[in-house]
Structure 1
């Protein structure tokens, strides 16, 4: 049985330097869904758009919400981004990136259908 069938999918197992460990890889910027984890080179948060989050939105069905890890500290994403995602029925939960990594594990253990976009640590 693959991990997704058990409801786990890729899991963040630790923080290494500026990044996050998943299996044998370390990703400084990360987009993670119940299906896969990929490296991500995000723009400055003030410039973040829905298009930048396309990999997180490429799951079917769309995620309930996106956990947005904003680096070493919480930074509010642009209102236009929140409005665009909410128009699709997707919430945005911004938090610092360490909290986002922890939240990912908890939410997936609860079998929540979410995605995360996590900025590197400074």
Structure 2
């Protein structure tokens, strides 16, 4: 059997994510962030998926995605209906799922050449210790 190493045609790969951290390529992320196949935005100020509004989505939408994934942390959560309606009104799909599921989904969609952007909500270290 011949094995070939394939190099993805995008710059950022999620190697894993949970509610506290994520691994983007070889970089450990401990604060909420945004990732697209060729863009990484660190220190996204999102702290709770239930409070995501148009201002919080602006940097994701600026990347002109077809699909927005929201990694909601360790557990499932959903943004407000108005936030979901904002994406729908622009013809952009929005899916909310745990960070682990969002990481896997991002990699699949990016690998298919889709215009995907993902925002990952990570618990601040103080919040994670309190919970």
Which TM-score tier does this pair reach, normalised by the shorter chain? 0.7 to 0.9
Q: CA deviation at 1:14?
A: 3.0
Q: CA deviation at 1:78?
A: 0.4
Alignment equivalent of 1:44, drawn from 45, 48, 58? 48
| TM-align CA RMSD | 1.9
Q: CA deviation at 1:13?
A: 2.0
| Structural mapping, 1:1-122, within 5 Å | 7-15=9-17, 18-28=20-30, 29-39=32-42, 40-59=44-63, 62-120=64-122, 122=128
Query: What is the aligned length?
Result: 115
Write out the 4+ residue segments of structure 1 that deviate beyond 4 Å after TM superposition: none
Q: CA deviation at 1:46?
A: 2.0
Matched residue SS, 2:14:
coil
Q: CA deviation at 1:58?
A: 1.8
Q: CA deviation at 1:31?
A: 0.4
- Inter-partner Cα distance in structure 1 for 2:28 and 2:58: 21
Residues 87 and 94, structure 2, Cα contact 8 Å, conserved in 1:
yes
Seen in structure 2, the aligned counterparts of structure 1 residues 17 and 113 have a Cα distance that, compared at 3 Å, is closer
Listed as ranges, the gaps of 5+ residues in structure 1 are 1-5
